[in-house]
Amino acid sequence: MNGIDRTSVVDLSSLNLDDVLAERKAPHFVASDKDGTLGGVFVEGVPVRIVHEGAAVFGGEVDHVDKIRPARTGAARVYAVDCVGWEVLGDRHVVAETYTQVLAGAIVRDLVDKYLATDGVTYTVESVQNGPAVTEAVFNYVKATPCFDTLAERAGFSWWIDGDKVIYFCERATYRAPWDLNDPDLVNDLQLHKSREGYRNRQYIKAGKDVTDSQVESFKGDGVSRTFTVGFPMAHVPAVTVNGVAKIVGIKGIDTDKDWYWNKGDAVLTQDQAAVALAATDTLAITYQGFFDVVILTTDEAAIEGRKVIEGGSGWYESVEDEPYLSSREAAIQSGNAKLRRYAKMPESITFNTWHPGLRAGQILSVNLPEEGLVNKEYLIDQVAFSRIGKRGTQPEYWRYDVKAVSGEALGGWARFFRNMATRGQAFVIRENIREDQVLIYLVQASESWRWAENTTITVNACPIPSAALYPSATLYPC
């Protein structure tokens, strides 16, 4: 803590350090203040680093402290300490940025430089990989953490900040466990689980708004009306003609002296007040593209048929996801198909415990235990829990690691799945907290200095006035 070894005052059997995929590490431990000198040590914000078997397994800071007064006179005061990983630094900065045609890794580096570097976060060439191209990324005043989350999800990457405040953004397929599970003596209590949790074969995506093909709508005047409503909110500047003659269109509320006015996202076209209202013999033609709400459905027919054979009935397992910032039907279909590729298979997981160190959440673990029916399979480690096991008879104290891992066999292997996500050759679009029809306004504050060089000659002349009420004439004054 703060660079000082405090292991001696910590009850290691109280250490709760669960490493869970896509969740922050939040270790808890209890410390004893036997000599009353630790009052200023266990306080909120103090840096904490946990090293296990020669490797830093956690880096962060104290988040919460309970100071417990002992019930017995003379007993040591106890501190119950909750910590939080350095990823919390991403919660302290609000991002307002836009990017176009940039690699995902370049966006991560830029966000670190602009927002997290002041808190000591760094990166290396190896720690932040480039990843796929991003066609467009718009972060509309959101915390840095969800920015990294979204970039990692779309790229098929993982991200974290290690104990030395180095950020990692790398392909999951390259993050392999340090050892393979091919010896049954390495594990205890191995269990294989299969369930329908999360399973689906029909996926609805409620996305944002897409743009229609070109529409043409015509109206007749009545000598009074100056507003005309089209069928969809307009997405782009419409082309307007009256009796076949093109008219000038401006932005409603901003432009003046135009024939007609429109607004993005508004279905109403308005005529200038100075113009003569259209007569019954006049024909107004509006050519435009409009916004419409996107709701798509993707299905896995083979998976549905498979469920029918086993269960009978429709075989349908449906799920709905809200993704309002997807701004096209193509993006929504891609999202729906991606979810079915992952979830239209019955998930399989294994749990076991081992005393062999090195396993971490997010690693790819190769398993080859033919006697258990597990032949050359790949599992994504979902959770690792650390436990300090006390002495039992002549057995010395040791660390036990309880592991849960999820199979990627149905996806052709987790490594292949994540590698395909990252290298599928399709650039992607990210919109966080902003829709297609909204504009991000970024206030840039700047200061400049000017040097003034000016010479002025002032001549002071006496200007006597005979009296306060005496003037030469009504238009003639002294001086």
Pairing of strands 133-143, 428-432: parallel
CA neighbor of 201 nearest in space, from 367, 346, 318: 318
Q: Estimate the crossing angle of helix 104-111 against helix 144-155, to 10 degrees.
A: 160
* DSSP letter string, 214-260: PEEEEEE--SS--EEE-SS-B-SPPEEEETTEE--EEETTT--S-SE
Give this prediction's pTM: 0.61
Is the CB of residue 289 less than 8 Å from the CB of residue 231? no
Q: pLDDT tens digits, residue range 204-230?
A: 988 888 888 899 999 999 999 999 999
Q: pLDDT tens digits, residue range 283-335?
A: 999 999 998 888 889 999 999 999 999 998 999 999 998 888 777 777 788 78
- pLDDT value, residue 440: 47
Radius of gyration in angstroms for the set of CA atoms belonging to the chain, rounded to a whole number? 34
Q: pLDDT tens digits, residue range 398-419?
A: 889 999 998 864 444 555 555 5
Q: pLDDT tens digits, residue range 375-385?
A: 988 898 989 99
Instruction: Give Cα 35 distance to the centre of its chain.
Output: 46
User: What residue has token string 């396993």?
Assistant: 359
